[in-house]
Structure 1
Amino acid sequence: MEHRELGDSGVEVSTVGFGAWVVGTDWWGDRGEQESIDLVQHALNQGVTFFDTGDVYGHGRSEELIGEALGDRRDEVTIASKVGYDFYNNPQAGHGEIPKEMTPEYIHEAVDKSLDRLDMDHLDLLHLHNADVDEVDEDVLAAIDELRESGRVDAISWALGPSIGWLAEGDAAIANEFDALQVVFNVFEQTPGAHFMETIDDLDASTSILARVPHSSGLLNEQVRPETELGEGDHRGFRPDEWYDTGWEKVEKLRFLERDGERTMGQAAIQWLLAHDDVASVTPTFRTTDDVDEWAAAPDTPALSDEELDRVADLHARDYDIKRDDGMAGFRSSVDGTDLEAVGATYAGD
């Protein structure tokens, strides 16, 4: 397993990380808690050392399970968590967004509670979870510096929606020298990653990209097909039928990325991301040990050739020659869309 540094922070992450939204929640289908612990430990044994959770996942339960699974091997792993959603004082209403709190006082308190649940003395990486650009003011930046100076946090990231707001937020993270920026980025949804890599280059910044949803919520690993019936509570069940149909047509046009016995589509999707130097790690959603075995091995498969990368770029530029709307347009911006208009984007996937 390859490792890459987050910015200039000295914090290293495995190029394939573990997105722990699946731990302690049922939003990707239900599973037992011991099953989740076993899955985390299996990932570590397969070389995955970067584990990315959030305090709001299961309202703290994900952090507790991650701490239980990894506590005895703390010195082998890089642990990230997210703060910003005030689930302490607000009930969860289905899959709806709960109120956020981004004051310095709340951030300090939330980090301390996260560390208590993890049973750890520091976070290797702290994300501000879906923070709007106007919420991260000088006082919040000062609070982040205090957390680093106290040793409770080693590196800082901004985790983006993108449906909560993404472009102005990501640009602000890079301009303010955040160590990392977590964003939806995959072969189908290239706009955010491409824009931020350009911003990093323009500002000569050291911010690293953490790519989440690398398999486009199950399309690029072929776990979601047009006929798939998703389990109760699975958040993908709320997506329009057009998303599934359009996505599967795109997958068929990417078959050239597969190499029989050498590289699966799911592995190729990860290798496409790792071909970008600014991407430090991808965080797929592991649901089974088979997923772990396949995707943790992705960095060891043949890297995508220049020809393959060019073919992907050409297909994306032509929108895969598919005229149908996938029903996912309308990702909003937290600054009324003016940032999106400035770069000619209206949707995180265009």
Structure 2
Amino acid sequence: MHYRELGRSGVEVSEVGFGAWVVGTNWWGDRTEEEAIGMVETALDHGITYLDTGDVYGHGDSERIIGKAIDGRRDEVTLATKIGYDFYENPQAGHGELPKELDREYLETAFERSLDRLGTDYVDLLQLHNANVSEVNGEVRDLLREWKADGRVRALGWALGPSIGWLAEGDAAVEYEEFDAVQTVFNLFEQEPGRHFIDTIRETGSDTSVIARVPHSSGLLNEQVTPDTVLEEGDHRAHRPQEWYETGWEKVEAIRFLEQPDHAEGTRTLSQASIAWLLSHDEVASVTPTFRTAADIAEWSAASDVPRLSADEYDRLEELYATNFGIDRDDGMDVLRTSVDGEDIEAAGLDKRAASY
């Protein structure tokens, strides 16, 4: 496992992180608390030190489980959480989005409760969870700086979602000097707005790092969703339209060349290559796949050390992406949604789903 710094914060993260949403909900399969703790311990044993959770995952359950898993091992981990959703006063409606709350009093209370569940007096990275750009005003930024100054937070981030988009929010995270990281959906098949943020970081000389989530494009790039897969009720991946998977399976065949079963420098699976492609961007500090099993952890954590993509492989991927991997039909996804109804995505020319190939 290799490690990178978040911006210039001094906070070090493993190149492959552990997305702890999986241990706090049943959206990615049911598991006992003991099994969930075991998954975290297995990740640590494989060199994964970056643990990324959020207070809303399982309405505090993910943080509580992570707190138990790292009890006695706090100094070994880079601990990240997120706040901004008011789940205390609002019941979860399936996979629907909860109301957000970013006033000072609520954030102070939410952060203290997170620290209590995690069993720590500080977090290495605190992220605003899906906050709209208009909600992150001067008062919010002042509060975040206060927490950083008093040592309860070592680095600050802005986690984007839940849909792909949120260009204005990511741009703000790059622009505002207090943010060390921006987290976004980013993978070979869903490259915007991640590519845009990387370009902006390079053009402006910003120190902001990118944390890439959904690196396997909801089961396509790790081939856990194939034409023979039947997604069970409640499986989060079932929220993708069927057309998404049908076009995605064709894209997977177009990038088979990334597999290296007999590479002179070591083997490389498609799942690992998908992570290695993300890590080929210096601005990407960590990639957080959705682990389901110990086998997933063993394979994907090793992606930090597999043969990097060659210049020819990278260029070939660029050509494929520019032509939608040779596919000339719609993938069933809605136009990219952002806090300003997609206008910023369209204005930047990044709405690939609205294009004609």
TM over 0.5: yes
Q: Trace 1:231-270 onto structure 2 (pairs within 5 A).
A: 231-260=232-261, 262-270=267-275
1:23 corresponds to: 23
TM score, norm. by length of structure 1: 0.97
Amino acid corresponding to residue 318 of structure 1 in structure 2: T
Query: Which range moves more in the overlay, 324-333 or 210-219?
Result: 324-333
AA of the residue aligned to 1:24: G
Q: Say which is worse superposed, 288-297 or 332-341, in terms of deviation.
A: 332-341
Please state whether the residue corresponding to 1:190 is helix, strand or coil.
Answer: coil
Q: CA distance change for structure 1 residues 22 and 162 in 2, over 3 Å: closer, same or farther?
A: closer
Structure 2 match to 1:168: 168
Query: Given the alignment of the two structures, is residue 301 of structure 1 paired with residue 306 of structure 2, yes or no?
Result: yes
How far 1:330 moved relative to its partner? Answer: 1.8
> Structure 2 vs 1, CA of residues 114 and 348 (structure 1 numbering), >3 Å: closer, same or farther?
farther
Deviation at 1:230, TM superposition (A): 1.6
- Aligned twin of 1:339: 344
User: Offset at 1:304?
Assistant: 0.5
What does the per-residue CA deviation read over 1:38-58, in whole Å, with 9 as the maximum and x for residues that have no partner? 011001001000000000000
Task: Decide whether the 8 Å contact of 2:11 with 2:154 is kept in 1.
Answer: yes
TM-score, normalised by the number of residues in structure 2: 0.96
Relative to structure 2, which stretch is displaced further, 73-82 or 229-238? 229-238
The one-letter amino acid of 2:60's match is G
- Number of equivalences: 350
2:158 corresponds to: 158
**C-alpha distance in structure 2 between counterparts of 1:306 and 1:182, whole Å:** 26
Distance 1:164 1:303, change over 3 A: closer
Once the two structures are TM-superposed, the CA of residue 251 in structure 1 deviates from its matched residue by 0.5
The residue that corresponds to 1:88 in the other structure is 88
- After superposition, give the CA deviation of every residue in 1:284-332 in whole Å (9 maximum; x if it has no partner): 0110000000001111111100000001110000001101211113221
CA distance in structure 1 between the aligned counterparts of 2:328 and 2:164, rounded to whole angstroms: 26
C-alpha RMSD of the superposition:
1.4
Q: Distance in 2 between matches of 1:337 and 1:197?
A: 19
State the alpha-carbon separation in 1 of the partners of residues 216 and 240 from structure 2: 15
**Structure 1: runs of 5+ lacking an equivalent:** none
Matching residue's letter, 2:13: V
In structure 1, the residue corresponding to 2:218 is in which secondary structure?
helix
Aligned mates of 2:288, 2:55 — CA distance in 1: 17
Shift of 1:13: 0.1
| C-alpha contact (below 8 Å) 2:279/2:285 kept by paired residues | yes
Q: Distance in 1 between matches of 2:343 and 2:296?
A: 40
Residue 242 of structure 1 and its aligned partner are, at CA, apart by 0.5
Partner of 1:113: 113
Question: Are 2:165 and 2:193, in contact at CA under 8 Å, matched by a contact in 1?
Answer: no
Q: Residue 81 of structure 1 aligns to a residue in which SS?
A: strand
User: Does the CA-based 8 Å contact 1:184-1:193 persist in structure 2?
Assistant: yes
Distance 1:255 1:349, change over 3 A: farther
Kindly indicate whether residue 332 of structure 2 is the aligned counterpart of residue 327 of structure 1.
yes
Q: Is the 8 A contact 1:130 1:164 kept in 2?
A: no
- Aligned residue number for residue 276 of structure 2: 271
Structure 2 equivalent of residue 210 of structure 1: 211
Local SS of the residue matching 1:174:
helix
* 2:82 counterpart letter in structure 1: K
Separation of aligned partners in 1, 2:244 and 2:339: 24
Per-residue CA deviation, residues 79-98 of structure 1 (Å, 9 max, x unaligned), is 00000000000000000001
**Alpha-carbon distance in 2 for matches of 1:108, 1:275:** 37
**1:347, distance to aligned residue in structure 2 (A):** 5.4
* AA aligned opposite 1:228: T
Q: Indicate conservation of the 8 Å contact 1:51/1:80, yes or no.
A: yes
Q: CA deviation at 1:72?
A: 1.2
1:9 and 1:144 map into 2 onto residues whose CA distance is: 14
After TM superposition, give the deviation of residue 150 of structure 1 in Å: 1.9
What residue identity is the alignment partner of 1:11?
A: V
Deviations 1:164-210 (A, max 9, x none): 75100000011002100000000001111110011111221000000
Give yes or no for contact 1:186–1:213 (8 Å, CA) kept in 2: yes
Query: Percent identity, aligned pairs only?
Result: 63
Alignment partner of 1:50 is 2:50: yes
Distance 2:203 2:338 in 1: 22
- 1:133: how far off? 0.5
Match of 2:67 in 1: 67
Structure 2 gap segments, 5+ residues each = none
